[in-house]
Every structure is written in C-alpha cells, then in structure tokens.
Amino acid sequence: MAAFSVYDEISLISKGLYRTVSDIVGPERIVKLRRQAVDIEDAFQNCDCNYETTWVTSGSRAEGFNFKSSDFDIMFIDTYAVVFNRDIHIADLMYSTPTILLMETETVSPGFAFIRCLRYDHNNVRLKRSLVLRDSAVYVSSKQIRESFLSTSMSTCHGPCQTHKMHGHERDDAYTLKCPVWPKQAVSFVYRSLRQGWPSCDTLTQICKDGCLLVPINSKQQQYSDMTDLQWRISFSLAEEELVHCMNHCQFLCYGLSKLFLNEVLKKASPNEDLLCSYFMKTAVFWEISDTPSDWSPLNFLSKFWNVFRRLIQWVNTGYCPNFFIPENNMFKGGKIYGETQATLLDTLRDLYMDGYWSLLRCPSLYKDLSKLIIQPEVAYTFSYNELDYVPLSTIETERLHVVLQFYVYSNKSDKKSLIKMLINMFKMNTESEEIKCAVRLGVNNVLQGYAKHLCISKESLCLTRFQNRIEYNDFNAAKSILCRTNTYFCMNYFILIQHMYMSGNYHRTIEMIHYTRHKLQSQPYMYMWNLDSDIIMAALQQGMSYDTVVKSLIINDIMMDENTSIEGLKLECSAFEQTVGACVLFIPPLVFLDFILILSYTRIHEDHRRYDILDELHTLLYHDDGHHIETTSKAISWEILGICQQICGDRHGAYQLYLHALDDDFNYFKHATVERIDSLGI
C-alpha cells in the first residue's frame, strides 16, 4: 500500500475510532429507539400519576445512552405550583392561579434563586409545610422540601435528589418546580445561539418555550447565615435534553467518547475520583459544538474530541468552568478544584494530553480496536460510510422489541382507565412507527387481560368463582374467554388461570394446569424479558411474525403479585415489601411460581410424597441457575419461597439456611417477613 501523510494517518484513525465508539454507544437508529422507549415510559408513568407531579426521565438514559454506568434520573415536576419571574404583572395572576411563586435572583449567586411565596394552595401540603418567614417575606425552603421528599427508609439524600435502589438500579428522584418562561439570567444563551447558528431556531424556540426548572439545593459559592436553606438551583435539564437530541450522530458519539474517557481514564488518573463529573464533559461538548456547529465528520472525530479535552484543561488551568446557559456561573467555584488539588489535576490532564491519542488506549473499552488502528491505520480504508453506522439486523430488532416491551410493562402497571385514554391518544397519532402500532395492540390486550385477571383472582372478586348464581357463572366464563383471546406474554394466561384455580380451592385442576404449562415451556424455545435472544428474535421475524406476536408467543416474564392478587403463602412478604418500599408488587420467576403452587396444591390434597420431587427440582434450579431463569433482582424472593416450601415439608433447619440466604440478598425488600419466618422456626 502507498505511504500516506501524518494527516491521512490521523484521519484514518479518527474514522476507525468513530466506528469503534459507534459500536459501543450504538448507531443512530438504536439511539433513537432508546429515546422512544423513554418517551413511552414517561407517557405511561404520567397516565398513572396522581396529577400532583409530572414524571420526566432525565440523565444518560433519556439522552440515548445505555452504558452500565448510565444514570437513572427522574424529575417530579410539581403541577400545582408554578414559579414566575419577578417582572410579571401580579394582578394578571390573582384570579388565574391558586399559588403565586416568584423567582428572585438579584442577591444570590448566578444560576441560583430564592422562591418567594405570595399565595399558596392549602391543598399542596408539601409546599405549605416548607414555607419560611424571612425579613417580613415568605419563602419556600429548599431544605425542608428536600427532606419531605424522602419517602421511604430505603432512600438517602444525594444533593437535591432522593437516591434509592430498586430492582438492581440506583435511581435519583428530584422534586422540582417549573418556571414556564426562560430566565433572565440565561438570556445570553439565546443571543449566542442565534449568532452561532446552534441550536436551530426551531429547537431554540422549543427550549425557551419549555422554560426552566428549580431544584432544591443551595449554592456552594455563596453562603448566607439565615438564607442558605432557601436557595434553589436553576436547572436546564429540559433544555440540555433538547440540545443532546438535536446533535448529529458524530457530535453525540463525541459526547459518548467524553463520558467513556472520563469514567475509564480521567477519574482513575485524578487525585480524587469526585473532582470531575460527566456534567463538566457535557458542558465542554456543548461549547465545542456551539463554536463549530457544522464542521463534524468521522474524519475529524478525533480532533473534535481533542478540542473538548483541551477546553477542559483550560478550565482547570484558570479554575473557571462556565455554565453553558449562564456563563457567569463558575461551576468549579465552591467545589474541590482549587489550590494543590487543582495543580495536581492540571498536571495529570496535561500529561494525558501530551500522550496524544495514545492516552485513549487507557480506555479498556477502546484498547482492542484502537491498538489495531494505530498499528495499521490503513484498515480504516475498508470502511464505507454506510458501514460506519452498520449494526447487525438482529441487534436492531432486539432494541425495537425493547421499545414494545417498555410500552407493555408500563401498561401493566398503569391504572386501566388512564391506560385506555393513553391508547386512544396513541391511535390518533399519525405515526409510521411499527413499534408504536405493535405496542398499542399489546396495550389493548393488556387492558382486557387486566380486567379478566381482576375477575379471576383479585380478592374482591373471588366470590365469582363460587357460582352463587347464573350472573357470577357467566362473568367467570367471560373472563376465561377474554384470557383465551388476549395473550400477552408466552403462557401468561395459563399462569393467571393457575392462580385462580388454586385460590378458588380447585387443587386437582391446578395440578393438571401446572403440568400442562410446564410441558408447553419445555416444548418450544422462549426467552425472558430481561434476557432477549437476538437469534430467536431473528428466526421468528424471518418466519413473518410481527413484533407483538414475538412478545406473545416467545417471551415470558415474571409473575406480578400485589396485595389484591397475592396467595395466602406470601401475605407476610407482600405486607413487609409495602412497608419498606411504599408499594406492593412482588416479581416471582415463572418456574419458581409453578413449583411453589404445585407444592402448595399437593399439601392441600395430602399427597405429601409427591412434594419432594418438586422440592428437589426447585433446589436444583436455585442453586445451579446462572441467571437464565432467575434474574438477580428476583433471587431473594426465590430463596424465600424455597425456604417456605422446605418449612412446609417439615425441614426446619433447611428452611432456616434458605431464609438466611434471602436475608443476605441485596434485593430483599421484605426483610421483616424473613426475620418473622426465622423466628417462627424456634431455632
């Protein structure tokens, strides 16, 4: 091959790096699907909302990332209380809103505000309890709001957020107030955007229309003796999400590379891992795009990232990190980047910068592909521009299926009347999205199935199974008919009928149905919702199946039990779970559920000898499963159920060991029940 210049070499490495980062972050189509899934999630959460707050997903997931480290952030925007700028004509509000809150920014650090209350709605208890009198004026205390938002014993305070761990994820929830107009402090952003040409006028209009949020945390830059706890930070989370979504894919991948470099290199090389955060990197990417909005391509991808890194080094050198919306807000001020720590960090960053693109080899995620590119940059010649965004079809189909599943999962949790309204709205949408169309079909199925489930197994409706009169008999047959026509997940209707038969005392029929269901599960391939198999999906789609048919015929999910549908043997767990988390939904792995009901049924008909084979199977499943049949977050309830079965069969010491397993599990949110069962053993 002919020799090429240093410029050509850098361009080829840049092109190959673009391809590698795209493989890690995901091509543009995949990123859009992830965002679509988040939109669906938000829509359904707000269907089920109490209307006091609006649920908005923010952070990395909302932006389209799917790293293991991607944060799971939720903002709860108060719908009863709206904040206005001080220059608004107060008389215009006196008859239009029960709560009048004004933003005061004159005597506080840039990027922060006081919220003064002129009038409040007595029904808004949280706001009412957070009002504080200062200097003959009434203000909303950010500290008291923040503390009142701590809802459960599993939660801790982290900045303005309530942090809690649920189902394997750490989630940050933040209570926020909304200002529907763009704040005066950030007017320079508007003029700069118009001058620079980024974002577009349409995006800029939408950003200004969305206004800003205020989150309950005080400034570290400026302390007040008696006003510190009254300060609120002006948040531009909604605007930031709009900016990320309007990035072209090269810009988005540069943002993704910045996050990778931060987590895998900068934090480990820094004197303190907490010195730099992803928000600083995002801000640097915003400024770089704003300065050069059009000149982005795979060939200069590496140099663009290097510009972002150089900008960060300049900020550390000067000790000034300008907020993208309010440049007067130095985000380093009041933090840890000063003095000796600042000097040490600057030396570290400069050393990495002087290493050039070799410093990227410190990223474990990039090392394998990038080292090959550095040795043989000509390999990048073989990449066409279509291939740069290439992703195997099976991966796309799996991501698309995740969108459908996301819709169904949240339809399963939503209030049915609200869900019907949501489905009607989605039917009215002029969309060509096959995912939305399939999801709507699944949602309709779920509404009907939820009605049938209520008729079959809810405690209020169990009287229907006693056939006291002809109307009750017809209602139950109607429920069974609905179940036959509205299957959602594979075999899910069988699980509902099994639960109904057991709760109504028809134990022989329950046993027959369980054996039939187990045979169905053994006779064809299926996959769990948390572990989708691309090969199975592709084979099904090539046979002409639609996405919703794939869900209904090939995917199985955990069995959900709440206080209305729980069986007698798990009452303790349901009650303890509700006390700990504030809601009662147990997720039980399907195979564990079947064996549990089978052992309970054999106990009821006094065929005790048949229980031991099932107990052995359940033992083998729990002790040898590699995560295929039992998700990590469902392991605790599985140990608990095995312990209950062991105790039923008379082995108290075996049950004791299993309860200890459940007690030690990080995802045991029903510890009080486990402790009570241990105490009942008398060991």
For 545-603, write each residue's pLDDT tens digit.
887 788 778 888 888 887 666 677 888 998 888 887 766 678 899 999 999 999 999 99
CA–CA separation, 200 vs 24, rounded Å? 28
Is there a single domain that holds both residue 568 and residue 607? Answer: yes
Is there a single domain that holds both residue 355 and residue 382? Answer: yes
CATH code at 680?
Answer: 1.25.40
Is there a single domain that holds both residue 308 and residue 371? Answer: yes
Is there a single domain that holds both residue 237 and residue 285? Answer: no
Is there a single domain that holds both residue 289 and residue 218? Answer: no
CA–CA separation, 227 vs 116, rounded Å? 12
Q: 391, 415, 433: which is the final residue of a domain?
A: 391
- Which of 477, 416, 670 lies closest to 566 in space, CA to CA? 670
Q: 391, 413, 444: which is the final residue of a domain?
A: 391
Is there a single domain that holds both residue 237 and residue 288? Answer: no
Is there a single domain that holds both residue 132 and residue 280? Answer: no
CATH code at 336?
Answer: 1.10.1410.40
Domain count, the chain: 3
DSSP letters spanning 419-432: HHHHHHHHHHS---
Residue entry with tokens 């290199």: 265
Task: Specify whether the CB–CB gap between 394 and 534 falls below 8 A.
Answer: yes
Residue 7 lies in a domain: yes
- State the pLDDT at residue 603: 94
- Which of 256, 247, 244 lies closest to 281 in space, CA to CA? 256
Per residue in 301-320, is it b (16+ CB within 10 Å) or e — as a string? bbebbbbbbebbbebbeeee
- Mark the ranges of the chain whose per-residue pLDDT is less than 70: 1-7, 48-51, 87-97, 150-155, 158, 164-169, 221-225, 377-394, 396-397, 400-401, 403-433, 436, 440-491, 563-566, 582-584
Is there a single domain that holds both residue 576 and residue 674? Answer: yes
Where helices occur in 104-248 by DSSP H, the ranges are 125-129, 142-148, 187-196, 201-210, 237-245
Residue 399 structure tokens: 């991501």
Residue 491 lies in a domain: no
How much helix, strand and coil, in percent to the nearest 5, is found in the chain? 60, 10, 30
Residue 583 structure tokens: 């809601």
- State the pLDDT at residue 464: 43
Residue 470 lies in a domain: no
Query: Domain range spanning residue 614?
Result: 507-525+558-683
C-alpha 47: how far from its chain's center? Answer: 17
CATH code at 215?
Answer: 3.30.460
Is there a single domain that holds both residue 274 and residue 227? Answer: no
Task: Specify whether the CB–CB gap between 330 and 221 falls below 8 A.
Answer: yes
Residue entry with tokens 């909303």: 140
Is there a single domain that holds both residue 207 and residue 258? Answer: no
Residue 222 lies in a domain: yes
Q: 189, 214, 246: which is the final residue of a domain?
A: 246
Residue 425 lies in a domain: no
Is there a single domain that holds both residue 197 and residue 79? Answer: yes
Residue 135 lies in a domain: yes
Residue 456 structure tokens: 């079959």
Residue 399 lies in a domain: no
Residue 666 lies in a domain: yes
Is there a single domain that holds both residue 143 and residue 272? Answer: no
Interstrand relation of 137-140 and 131-134 (parallel, antiparallel or unpaired):
antiparallel
pLDDT in tens, 360-404: 999 999 988 888 877 776 665 565 555 566 666 667 667 766 766
